[in-house]
């Protein structure tokens, strides 16, 4: 006859196995075979040496701060400096990000030649005295060389530090500061959906009122590509206007909004042109989630939907390119999205409220594994890449962001009664 101790141990083991087998499975994002696959395995990257350069003649430059990009610099003669600005790895699209601080012992002007290796000059320099308030340099101070695509920038120097950058710098700290400004709102929760390749938080804002049950979800994403700051500005305006809306309470009684303002924190702080710390374009990794950022965010969105019990209706991914454009799903795709009426009404409202503005829509089918296609494949949802031009005036970006936010709320409330 078995002893009491052996019987008790056997009972506890059976109970433990039963408990483990009856634990609910944590939902995971599905994988997909997109028609045009992309290799998103880790790639080697060239890391900058962060340092302060003494260039002689009382001139100093540093790249030792988050978001900086300056691989090498040397003095050529009394007035000419020459910089090498390289991407983290290649191949990469033409988005040559640069950012540095420069100052001098006495007032003087220098000419700085920017060599982008395999790329061409794209971003007119932005200048700042504090890294927060920026202005675009006068056009006559920049000469772009036709052959090779390098540029020569004429910079006025003094003992005051001059920030020079391809676009306004919004590093991880500034993005988190922006997100934390909403943390005191009773309907907002700020948390982390996981960690980046280098261990930075992938922060998100959960905007939700009362119980989550059966609420449909709107997802907002930004900064998969570090230099795409104008898209981030549009996302900021969109979210800020949503939180100010007089219809917010009614909207949140029916919908939950999940906002991921910075998907690539490593790339942003490392001053990358496009990729994450593992040298990969995150917006090509929405099929097998080989990178920690896409894997964490995709699984988090799926879990949010499972928790709510509603549907993901809309995924807006904010980016930047040369000119404003909305990349949408091609209507030839057979399956009907969850909100087939949304896109047309939204674009019509934007054109009505912004006289002279013409929505530049470019429908595309399911090809490469980008978020737009992933929202459709995973949820049957309307996925859209919301692109803002590099040089779109900042007040126009703000206005477009606010109008699209207001009209999203109106359309979703009117059509989902």
DSSP string, 93-129: -S----EEEEEESS-EEEEEEEE-TTS---SPPEEES
Q: Give me 185's structure tokens.
A: 């709102």
How much is the pLDDT for 26? Answer: 84
Question: Is 270 in a helix, a strand, or coil?
Answer: helix
Residues 175-193: tens digit of each pLDDT: 999 999 998 899 999 999 9
Residue 293 three-state SS? helix
* Element holding 205 (H helix, E strand): strand 201-207
* Whole-angstrom distance, CA of residue 276 vs CA of residue 17: 41
CA nearest 231: which of 350, 404, 407?
A: 404
pTM score of the predicted model: 0.93
CB 265 within 8 Å of CB 277 = no
- Among candidates 201, 202, 205, which has minimal Cα distance to 179? 205
d(CA 411, CA 400): 16
Q: Which of 76, 71, 155 is nearest to 111 (CA)?
A: 155
CA 91 to chain centre: 20
Mean pLDDT rounded to a whole number for the chain: 93
Local structure of 187: helix, strand or coil: coil
Torsion angle of C-alpha atoms 231, 166, 47, 199, degrees rounded to 10: -30
pLDDT computed for residue 81 by the predictor: 98
Query: What is the predicted pLDDT for the residue at 20?
Result: 44
Tens place of pLDDT per residue across the chain (417 aa): 455 455 555 554 444 444 444 555 789 999 999 999 999 999 999 999 999 999 999 999 999 999 999 999 999 999 999 999 999 999 999 999 999 999 999 999 999 999 998 899 999 999 999 999 999 999 999 999 978 899 999 999 999 999 999 999 999 999 999 999 998 899 999 999 999 999 999 999 999 998 777 899 999 999 999 999 999 999 999 999 999 999 999 999 999 999 999 999 999 999 999 999 999 999 999 999 999 999 999 999 999 999 999 999 999 999 999 999 999 988 777 567 788 899 999 999 999 999 999 999 999 988 999 999 999 999 999 999 999 999 999 999 999 999 999 999 999 999 875
Q: Provide the token pair at 396.
A: 């126009």
Amino acid 335: pLDDT: 66
Question: How many Cβ atoms are within 10 Å of 379's Cβ, its own excluded?
Answer: 21
- What whole-number distance in Å separates Cα of residue 263 and Cα of residue 301? 13
Say if strands 52-54 and 59-62 run parallel, antiparallel, or are unpaired: antiparallel
Pairwise CA distance, residues 119 & 93, whole Å: 8
The CA distance from 399 to 238, in Å, is 9
Distance, C-alpha 48 to centroid of its chain: 22
Q: What kind and span of H or E run contains 372?
A: helix 371-379
Residues 222, 50: Cα–Cα separation, whole Å: 27
Of 59, 66, 108, residue with least CA distance to 83? 59
pLDDT, residue 147, reads 82
Listed in sequence order, the residues at least 6 apart from 355 whose beta carbon sits closer than 8 Å to its beta carbon are none
Residue 18: what pLDDT?
47
The structural domains of the chain, ordered by start, are: 52-165 (2.60.40.3120), 172-415 (3.40.630.10)
Q: CA angle 351-352-357, nearest 5°?
A: 35
- Per-residue pLDDT reduced to its tens digit, 83-102: 999 999 999 999 999 999 99
pLDDT value at position 11? 52
Residue among 208, 210, 172 at smallest CA distance from 190: 208
Q: Where does 229-323 show beta strands of DSSP type E?
A: 255-260, 312-321
Rounded distance, CA 398 to CA 246, Å? Answer: 19
The pLDDT value recorded for residue 330 is 87
């Amino acid at each position: 006859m078995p002893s009491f101790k052996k019987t008790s141990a056997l009972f506890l083991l059976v109970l433990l196995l039963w408990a483990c087998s009856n634990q609910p499975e944590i939902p995971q994002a599905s994988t997909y075979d997109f028609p045009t696959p992309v290799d998103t395995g880790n790639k080697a990257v060239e890391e900058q040496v962060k340092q302060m350069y003494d260039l002689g003649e009382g001139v100093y430059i540093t790249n030792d701060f988050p978001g900086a990009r300056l691989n090498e610099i040397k003095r050529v003669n009394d007035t000419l400096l020459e910089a090498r600005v390289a991407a983290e790895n290649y191949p990469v699209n033409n988005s040559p990000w640069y950012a540095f601080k420069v100052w001098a012992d006495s007032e003087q002007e220098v000419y700085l030649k920017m060599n982008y290796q395999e790329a061409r000059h794209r971003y007119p320099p932005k200048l700042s005295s504090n890294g927060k308030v920026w202005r675009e340099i006068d056009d006559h101070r920049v000469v772009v060389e036709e052959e090779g695509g390098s540029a020569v920038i004429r910079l006025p120097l003094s003992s005051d530090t001059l920030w020079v950058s391809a676009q306004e710098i919004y590093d991880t700290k500034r993005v988190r500061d922006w997100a934390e400004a909403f943390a005191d709102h009773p309907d907002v929760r700020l948390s982390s959906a996981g960690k980046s390749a280098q261990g930075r938080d992938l922060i998100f804002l959960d905007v939700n009122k009362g119980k989550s049950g059966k609420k449909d979800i709107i997802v907002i994403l930004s900064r998969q590509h570090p230099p795409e700051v104008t898209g981030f500005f549009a996302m900021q305006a969109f979210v800020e206007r949503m939180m100010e809306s007089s219809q917010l309470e009614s909207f949140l009684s029916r919908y939950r909004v999940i906002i991921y303002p910075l998907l690539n924190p490593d790339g942003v702080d490392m001053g990358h042109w496009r990729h994450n710390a593992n040298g990969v374009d995150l917006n090509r990794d929405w099929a097998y989630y080989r990178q920690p950022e896409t894997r964490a965010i995709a699984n988090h969105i799926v879990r949010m939907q499972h928790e709510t019990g509603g549907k993901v209706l809309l995924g807006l991914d904010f980016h930047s390119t040369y000119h404003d454009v909305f990349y949408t799903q091609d209507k030839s795709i057979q399956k009907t999205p969850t909100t087939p009426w949304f896109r047309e009404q939204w674009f019509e409202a934007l054109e009505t409220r912004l006289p002279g503005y013409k929505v530049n829509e470019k429908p595309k089918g399911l090809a490469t594994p980008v978020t737009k296609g992933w929202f459709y494949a995973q949820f049957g949802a309307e996925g859209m890449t919301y692109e803002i031009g590099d040089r779109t005036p900042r007040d126009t970006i703000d206005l477009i962001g606010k109008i699209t936010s207001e009209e999203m709320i109106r359309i979703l409330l009117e059509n989902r009664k």
